């Protein structure tokens, strides 16, 4: 029978070291050293939770030190539900968020929770802000390929039909050819 090794962890509530089974860590558990700490963390008021996980940085932003999603946004638990950290910041500092409005970032830093860097707006306001700052993936197309080696213009652009998106995607011909040569070389030798 294989022996399961425990993984060293730090409790998110009391900050003590403890050991957790790898399986629990893999499925997103193993965050607290015991049930008491887990219960206390779940019962924290929004103000206490915000104070515990918001950290001031030299850039002027307050970075969320709690759980962070793969897309870079922090989140917390509020009234038994997951909530984005910048929305929690708005709730703590300004009160309820009106229906149909989003909490948007002035600083374009997804983990920033500083109230002065946040504002309320509609989805359209968010899209307008994104395009005015050149962050969108809309009509503006890249000048260089993903590797940053070749210009994406003229004969160097390959258009490939994407069935799922029902649109064309653009690829760099030079990088595609180099990749094919590399794969052929690996296959041959």
Q: What is the pLDDT of residues 63-111, one digit of tens each?
A: 998 888 888 898 888 776 889 999 999 999 999 999 999 999 998 888 9
Domain identity same for 39 and 51: no
Domain that holds residue 119: 45-136
Considering the domain boundaries, does residue 22 fall inside one?
yes
Beta-carbon count within 10 A of 108 CB: 12
Domain identity same for 16 and 93: no
Considering the domain boundaries, does residue 99 fall inside one?
yes
Domain identity same for 25 and 108: no
How many domains, the chain? 3
Q: 17: Cβ–Cβ under 8 A, 6 or more apart, which residues?
A: 8, 9, 10, 11
pLDDT, the chain, mean: 83
Considering the domain boundaries, does residue 30 fall inside one?
yes
Q: How confident is the model at residue 139 (pLDDT cuts 50, 70, 90)?
A: very low
Domain identity same for 102 and 115: yes
pLDDT digits (tens, 9 = 90+) for 26-47: 777 788 888 888 877 777 788 8
The pLDDT value given to residue 93: 92
The pLDDT value given to residue 88: 92
User: What is the mean pLDDT of the segment spanning 14-30?
Assistant: 83
Considering the domain boundaries, does residue 149 fall inside one?
no
Q: Say if CB 77 and CB 84 are below 8 A apart.
A: no
Domain identity same for 78 and 125: yes
Residue 141: pLDDT above 70? no
Of 43, 61, 76, which marks where a domain is finished? 43
Residue 140: pLDDT above 70? no
Domain identity same for 86 and 124: yes
Considering the domain boundaries, does residue 145 fall inside one?
no
pLDDT digits (tens, 9 = 90+) for 173-184: 888 888 888 888
Residue 119: pLDDT above 90? yes
User: What is the mean pLDDT of the segment spanning 4-29?
Assistant: 83
Domain identity same for 118 and 73: yes
Q: Which helix (H) or strand (E) holds 48?
A: helix 46-53
The pLDDT value given to residue 2: 57
């Amino acid at each position: 029978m294989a022996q399961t090794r425990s993984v060293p962890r730090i409790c998110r509530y009391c900050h003590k070291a403890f050991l957790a089974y790898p399986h629990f860590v893999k499925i997103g558990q193993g965050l607290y050293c015991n049930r008491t700490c887990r219960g206390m963390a779940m019962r924290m008021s929004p103000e206490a939770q915000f104070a515990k996980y918001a950290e001031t940085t030299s850039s002027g932003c307050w970075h969320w030190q709690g759980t962070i999603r793969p897309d870079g946004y922090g989140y917390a638990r509020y009234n038994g539900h997951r909530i984005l950290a910048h929305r929690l910041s708005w709730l703590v500092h300004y009160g309820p968020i009106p229906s149909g409005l989003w909490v948007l970032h002035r600083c374009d830093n997804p983990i920033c929770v500083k109230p002065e860097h946040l504002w309320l707006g509609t989805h359209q306001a968010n899209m307008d802000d994104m395009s005015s700052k050149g962050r969108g993936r809309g009509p503006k197309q890249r000048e260089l390929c993903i590797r940053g080696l070749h210009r994406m213009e003229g004969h160097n652009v390959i258009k490939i039909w994407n069935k799922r998106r029902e649109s064309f995607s653009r690829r760099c011909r030079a990088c595609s050819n180099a990749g094919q040569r590399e794969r052929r070389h690996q296959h041959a030798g």
